[in-house]
Structures are given as structure tokens and as C-alpha cells.
Amino acid sequence: MTTLWVDAPTGLAGDMLLAGLLDLGIPISAIEEPLNSLGLAGCYRIDVAEARSGGLRGKRVSVTGLEVQPPHRHWADIRQQIVEASLPTSLKDRVLAVFTALAEAESTVHGSSMESVHFHEVGAVDALVDVVGVCAALDQLNPSRIFCSPLPAGRGTVRTAHGLLPVPVPAVLELARRHQVPLQQSPHAPEGELVTPTGLALMAVWADRFVPPARFTPALVGVGLGHRELDRPNLVRLILETADQDSTDQELADAPRWQSLVVQEAWLDDATPEDLALLMERLREAGAVDVAAHPLVMKKGRCGHGVIALVEEDVAERVRQVWFNAGTSIGVRERRQGRWLLPRRSGLLDTPWGMLPAKQVKRPDGRLTVKPEADDLELMSRRTDCSVADLRAAAVAAPFISEADWSW
């Protein structure tokens, strides 16, 4: 099993990703062969150089177009070129997915159909090299999962073929909206465009989650440098973790797993019981892992309630909005925390009264414990006229049946 973490503290562009993958050891031939299959042989030159940014080393990629009169490529032209190329199916699907994401974003921000989208930057040969090259390199690397850090939004303006645009540029905003990619805003970020549409589209298609991994043991690190001079190193780090498959399978089967969470909390002294119930339900619907409430004595001796939501980081912003839109609080506390989870799976207990849904848990000492679901115990009690206590006692000896995989 391999995990790839894309750490992009100063932003993301296709050439930076490509440079980082080459620095990880992907051979240049893995990139050039699919490009040649697209009929681009002789249309470009890739220069890979060992370089420095802010005193840190890495690789920098420069792509030069060699076409005397570069064609104006539209989405329909690019799609046909990809479909007709003799590429492996997995690679072809990913390349098409990236360009489709770009075409959808461009058509939305310009108010045109996808077929008529004219890619000023994206259709250029260097963008084709970036997209196809990164997809080919990741296809060869074949990580089991990809984490990408939340990306900096940048600030200010940037000059493009459409004129002076605000940062993040409209296509980046649309990609982030469509694919629910978190963008971090900070007054301390470097000025200018930090994330390009091509870089964001690549991660929108490839990344499994936009959060740093909770724990990580690096095996290889590839560093890709950007071309802009910033007040800090301008780089993306591709951090690869590899593990022996047998040991990884055993760990997944037996070991507790750490889950990083955001704890959101508010103390309420002006919410009715109905208000509390509605707020807690809305928090769960928005993606909270768990929601709980407890009584409090607050200022001026008022009785109130503390409401706590456990939230995964990639949905924290969405859940945060629920507090303000569905609750009475004018503020929400947040802290980062985590929890250890034991492996568990769902199944059925074969009781004399029928099948009873239950959950099986694997303990660190190897024991397997089973607990029937409370709601299903109550339903069976009503159906059989047996008490819940009697059913629970009988369930302890019932065989547990499950074909489900272990999860956390």
C-alpha cells in the first residue's frame, strides 16, 4: 500500500506537480510516451533542472512549445485527440476527467457551452504536457490513496488572456465549488495567483481528501519548484509512504486507527428544547460524525446547554455554517482533536426469533465482541413479546453472520 501526500504550502500548478513527480523518480519516458501517442512528438520540449527556491532544493520543469503556428484548441478538439490516442484506459479516463473538469469550469464562468470553450491557457501545448504528464506519472506511481493539503487561495489580481482578473481567478473558484475543494484565505499569503486551474483540476480528479494525513512515515520526498519568486520557498512536496502489503493488511485488520477531528462547540442559554433538537439534527445532516448536548449553568445563573459536534476537517466549514443558520449562537468554539477507533463491521445475529442487526468489534487483545442495535432490539421485543433484557441475553450466544469488510 502506498499513500501520497501533496503538500502545497505556496500553491499548486501543473508544472510543479510534474517536477515533484520527476523528483520522486518517475522516468521522463513515462511522460513522453503518452504525449507522443497524442501526436505531440516534436511539438514541445521538456527541460528538467535541479534548482533552488528560498534556499531549498528541488526540480523545476520548463515546457517550451515548438509549434511554429500553435493551433487554437477547443474542448472538442482536445477530447477527440485524447479519445483517439492509443493510451491505457486508466490513463485516458483520468486525462479526460481533468480536461472535462476544466471545460465545465470555463464554460460556466464564460456563460458558453462546453463544446465552444476555447482554452487560451489550457489548450496550449504546455498545459497538455502538464495534464497528460502528471496523469501518466501518477498512473505509473499508482498510490493507494492521495491526500492533498488545503490549498492557498492567493490574493490580489493576475493578468490573463481575459484581462486583469481577481485572485482566485473565476475558473479556480468554479472548480473549487464543483468539486468541494477547500481554499484557505490568509492576509499573510503571497500576493498573486497561487493555484492555477490546471493544478486544481488535477487534484480535484486525483485527490481522495483535501486534508493532511493524521500520521505519516515518509519513505520518499519529491520537491517541485514553481517559477515565481516569492518571499518564501515556492514549492510543492510530494511525500510518499510505502508499507509492506502483508503488514499493512494485518494492521488494518487488528489495530485501532487514529481519526483527526475538529470539535465545534457552543453554549446556548436562549434555545428551547425544540431549537436544540433541530440544531442537532441539522448538524448531523451536514456531516457531523457525532453530536451531543449537556446541561450547563451559565452567566447570571441561567440554565443552558452545551452542544458539541465532532466533525471531519473537510466538512468543517459546511457544518460551521449550520451553527449560525440553524442555531441561536452568535459564535462557535473550535479545536482540533482526535479519537482512536476500533475496527468494526455490521452483520446479523441468528436468534431463535429471527435475524437481529448487530455490530461486531475487534478488541486489541484479539477478542470479538458483538452488540445488537438498540432500535432493532426494541422492534423485535414488540414483535415477540419478549423483554429487551431477555433478547439481549439470548443474543450473546447467537451466531454472528457478516460478509462486510472491517471499517473504522
Q: What is the pLDDT of residues 126-175, one digit of tens each?
A: 888 999 999 999 999 999 899 999 999 988 888 877 788 888 999 999 99
Answer whether residue 211 shows pLDDT above 50.
Answer: yes
Residue spans of the domains in the chain: they are: 2-248, 257-341, 344-401
Write down the pLDDT at residue 247: 46
Say which residue the cell 465549488 belongs to: 177
Rounded Cα distance, 176 and 186, in Å = 17
Q: What is the pLDDT of residues 43-82, one digit of tens each?
A: 899 999 999 999 999 999 999 888 877 776 778 888 888 9
Give me the CATH code for the 257-341 domain, please: 3.30.70.1380
Rounded Cα distance, 84 and 273, in Å = 62
**Amino acid, single-letter form, for residue 384:** T
Answer whether residue 245 shows pLDDT above 70.
Answer: no
Other CB atoms within 10 A of residue 145 CB: 14
Taking residues 299-316, what's their average pLDDT? Answer: 91
Q: What is the pLDDT of residues 330-344, one digit of tens each?
A: 999 998 888 888 999
Q: What is the pLDDT of residues 66-123, one digit of tens each?
A: 887 777 677 888 888 899 999 998 899 999 999 999 999 989 988 888 877 766 544 4
- Residue 277: phi and psi, rounded to 5, are -60, -45
Taking residues 320-330, what's their average pLDDT? Answer: 92
Q: What is the mean pLDDT of the chain?
A: 89
Say which residue the cell 450473546 belongs to: 396
Answer whether residue 358 shows pLDDT above 80.
Answer: yes
What confidence tier does 324 reach under pLDDT thresholds 50, 70, 90? very high
Rounded Cα distance, 380 and 371, in Å = 15
Strands in 55-192 per DSSP E: 56-65, 145-148, 151-152, 157-160, 163-166, 183-184
Taking residues 249-277, what's their average pLDDT? Answer: 81
